[in-house]
C-alpha cells in the first residue's frame, strides 16, 4: 500500500491537529509530499510538518481558509507551481457551532456550512482541474457518523457532513471517467481536541453505544484514508467508509 504512494503529492486541509495531523503523518510515512493546510494556527501546522519529518517524510505548511474560494484556487496553483501536480486531496477541515436548532443564529449556520461543505467543494473543484489533466487522482472527504444518523444539538454540523456524502457521490460519478476516485470516510467517536471538550456524561453515553468498547483514534481514520489513497482501492469510488467501532451499522 505504501510503496504505491511514494512521491505522490497530497494536500490535507485542517492538517494542523487531530485527524488531519494523523493523516499527514501517515501519508508522509508512505513517501508522499504533503501540504499541511491550516487556517489560523501556524505553530500547530509546523508541529505537523516536524512530525512528518520525524517519520522520514516531506511536508510543508500551506495556510489558507477553505471557505474562501479565491484563496483555495491560489493555494492549489501554488502547489502546481511548486510540485507540478496534485495526486491526493483530503478534505478534513471543519468546524462546529453546537446548540439547539431553534436557537441557532443564521451566521453560525452559514459559517459551519461554508467551511465544512462549501470549503470541501472549493478544494475538490480546484484539485480536480489538475487531476483531470493527469487523468488520475484521489479525493477523500472526511464526513462523520452524525452525517448518517444525526445528533441533537448539532444541526448545522450534521447537515454539513451529510452534504459531504452527497457531494462525494456526485463527484464520484462526474470524475470516474477521468480516472479520479472520490470517497468519504465517516468517523465515529474519535478522541480529538473537538471531542475532548465534551461533558464526561455525554462521552459516557456515547461509549455505551460502541460495540467494540473503545473510542477511536485519529490513527484509525488515517489508516483508512491511506488505504483509499493507495493502489488497493483502485475499484472503489462513491463509497462512504464508516470507521466507528460498530456505533452505526
The residues annotated with a catalytic role in the active site are: 157
Beta bridge partners of 62: 37
Residue 216 per-residue DSSP state:
B
Work out the angle between the directed axes of helices 18-29 and 42-54 (0-180°, nearest 10).
30
Angle, alpha carbons 185-126-63 (nearest 5°): 80
Q: Which of 127, 62, 43, 53 is nearest to 91 (CA)?
A: 127
Using alpha carbons, select from 152, 229, 215 the residue that is nearest to residue 185.
Answer: 229
Give the C-alpha separation, 165 to 142, whole Å. 9
Report the SS3 class of residue 102: helix
Amino acid at each position: 500500500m505504501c510503496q504505491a504512494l511514494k512521491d505522490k503529492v497530497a494536500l490535507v486541509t485542517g492538517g494542523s491537529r487531530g485527524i488531519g495531523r494523523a493523516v499527514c503523518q501517515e501519508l508522509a510515512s508512505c513517501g508522499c509530499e504533503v501540504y499541511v493546510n491550516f487556517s489560523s494556527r501556524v505553530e500547530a501546522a509546523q508541529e505537523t510538518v516536524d512530525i512528518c519529518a520525524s517519520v522520514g517524510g516531506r511536508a510543508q505548511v500551506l495556510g489558507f481558509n477553505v471557505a474562501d474560494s479565491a484563496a483555495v484556487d491560489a493555494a492549489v496553483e501554488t502547489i502546481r507551481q511548486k510540485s507540478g501536480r496534485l495526486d491526493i486531496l483530503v478534505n478534513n477541515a471543519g468546524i462546529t457551532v453546537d446548540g439547539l436548532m431553534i436557537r441557532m443564529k443564521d451566521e453560525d449556520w452559514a459559517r459551519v456550512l461554508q467551511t465544512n461543505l462549501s470549503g470541501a467543494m472549493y478544494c475538490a473543484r480546484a484539485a480536480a482541474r489538475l487531476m483531470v489533466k493527469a487523468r488520475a487522482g484521489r479525493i477523500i472527504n472526511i464526513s462523520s457518523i452524525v452525517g448518517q444518523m444525526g445528533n441533537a444539538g448539532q444541526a448545522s454540523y450534521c447537515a454539513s457532513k451529510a452534504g459531504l456524502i452527497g457531494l462525494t457521490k456526485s463527484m464520484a460519478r462526474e470524475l470516474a471517467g477521468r480516472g479520479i476516485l472520490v470517497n468519504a470516510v465517516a468517523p465515529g467517536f474519535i478522541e480529538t481536541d473537538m471531542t475532548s471538550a465534551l461533558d464526561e456524561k455525554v462521552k459516557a453515553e456515547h461509549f455505551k453505544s460502541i460495540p467494540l468498547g473503545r473510542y477511536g483514534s485519529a490513527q484509525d481514520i488515517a489508516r483508512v484514508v491511506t488505504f483509499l489513497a493507495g493502489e488497493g482501492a483502485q475499484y472503489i469510488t462513491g463509497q462512504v467508509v464508516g470507521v466507528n467501532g460498530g456505533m452505526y451499522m
